[in-house]
Amino acid sequence: MASMHGSVSMAVGAGPHQSLMSFMSESARRTSSCASYNSIGYTVDCSFVNVPVTMSRCAENTMQSRQPCLVLSSQFIGVNLRPRAAGTAVVRAKTGSSGGCFVPTFPLITAVLSRDLEEMQTTRIETPKVFDFDSYMRVKAKAVNVALDKAIIPEFPVKLIDSMRYSLLAGGKRVRPALCIAACELVGGKEETAMPTACAVEMIHTMTLIDDDLPCMDNDDLRRGKPTNHKVFGEDTAVLAGIALHSLAFEHVVRATKGVEADKLLSVIAHLGKASGSEGVLAGQIVDIASEGDPNIDMKKLQYIHYHKTATLLEASVVTGAILGGANDDQIDRLREYSRNIGLLFQVVDDILDVTQSSAELGKTAGKDLVADKATYPKLLGLEDAKNFAQELKAKAKEQLSIFDQAKAAPLLGLTDYIANRQN
């Protein structure tokens, strides 16, 4: 047995001892980790897709049928060949993980065996690729950063442009652009189609961060581990930079989107406008400000604040991506409900982190909601119930993705887990 870049080949030749010796010889040639060969017990140690594996013949007294059984095992994977009918066996592999490092899975391997192991039909199995969420996010974030950098060319007036670029290009996880692109690709669209809108969403999001940090709002000095915009450029410039980013977002969608029908483009613009205006982020912001210190805030009003302040822009990210990708009405409805759940999930986790993490860990001032006497999920529900509520929202979000091809939905499923488990 040998690793062959995402596939596995198994072959045994004519006689039992001779065939295993041949097998070992071939294994030794292809892998450098052949350890032992026991001609009596038919025991072979070799490398199986970079994971140490033992293959051995089962003792005859372990099986009523007295047919041979091969067992492959390792620290992470247990695989059993057991005869399904005379001369045949089916291999099924378990999935395992350790320390967050996933091991490739082998869902079905079929091998044909004779009673005395004299022949084994060569079988080639293509192994499925395990979705690497971290790599996916790195690739998408890099592509988004390149597109954002090109979207704002340094020019006059220098101070305004510098202020816009300072906050827009300050890093960050690019969750909203990733959601937009992932939703587009989920329904058959392409990254380049969604990229202008993904950038627009990030421009709008950056505007909300600049505004949120102002002294007249949350009065914060730190954002993404750096001084906030108004601390660097002054309050007046920060306000203007936020307005300019909001305006640029819509211009960028219209100018940079290619090959999309006008009605779809208008729908995208309408969704972005609603999410960033008096029916979206700004509505949540004003009610949040008005509710500071109010001891009568209940869950209904808290949900209103967080749905509008946080979830609406996440919803717009997903729904606009789906529209650009050509989603049908049922798919859009599902993705809308998915995004509402992850939007609230994002805010619940944000509230939890605000009381459990340090400023250094968060990259922004910790405990500011407590100082401002704001209503939060931990404050209304208690910390443990807030954590349980987050898990409920995660489950509801994933349920909305159940109608889609799960391989294509992997980025959105991964983003859901990321939002639920993030530490900053």
Cα angle, residue 303 at apex, residues 306 and 381 outer, rounded to 5°: 105
Range name among 77-91, 314-328, 380-394 with the lowest pLDDT average: 77-91
The structure's pTM equals: 0.69
Query: Residue 57 pairs with which residues in a beta bridge?
Result: 70
Between CA 286 and CA 301 the distance in angstroms is 12
For residue 110, name the pLDDT band (cuts at 50, 70, 90).
very low
pLDDT at 394 over 90: yes
pLDDT of 61 reads 32
For residue 58, name the pLDDT band (cuts at 50, 70, 90).
very low
What torsion, rounded to 10 degrees, do the Cα atoms 166, 171, 176, 179 define? 140
Q: What are the residues whose beta carbons fall under 8 Å from the beta carbon of 144, sequence distance 6 or more?
A: 174, 177, 178, 181, 195, 198, 199, 202
What DSSP letter does each residue of 347-359 carry, written as one string? HHHHHHHHHHS-H
State what percent of residues in the chain have pLDDT above 90.
55
Closest C-alpha among 179, 118, 174 to residue 146: 174
Q: How many CA atoms lie within 13 A of 11 on its CB side?
A: 10
For residue 34, name the pLDDT band (cuts at 50, 70, 90).
very low
The per-residue pLDDT for range 346-381, each reduced to its tens digit, is: 999 999 998 887 766 656 566 666 656 678 899 899
Mean pLDDT of the 304-327 span: 96
pLDDT at 21 over 70: no
pLDDT of 100 reads 30
Residue pair 398/413 in contact (Cβ under 8 Å)? The answer is yes
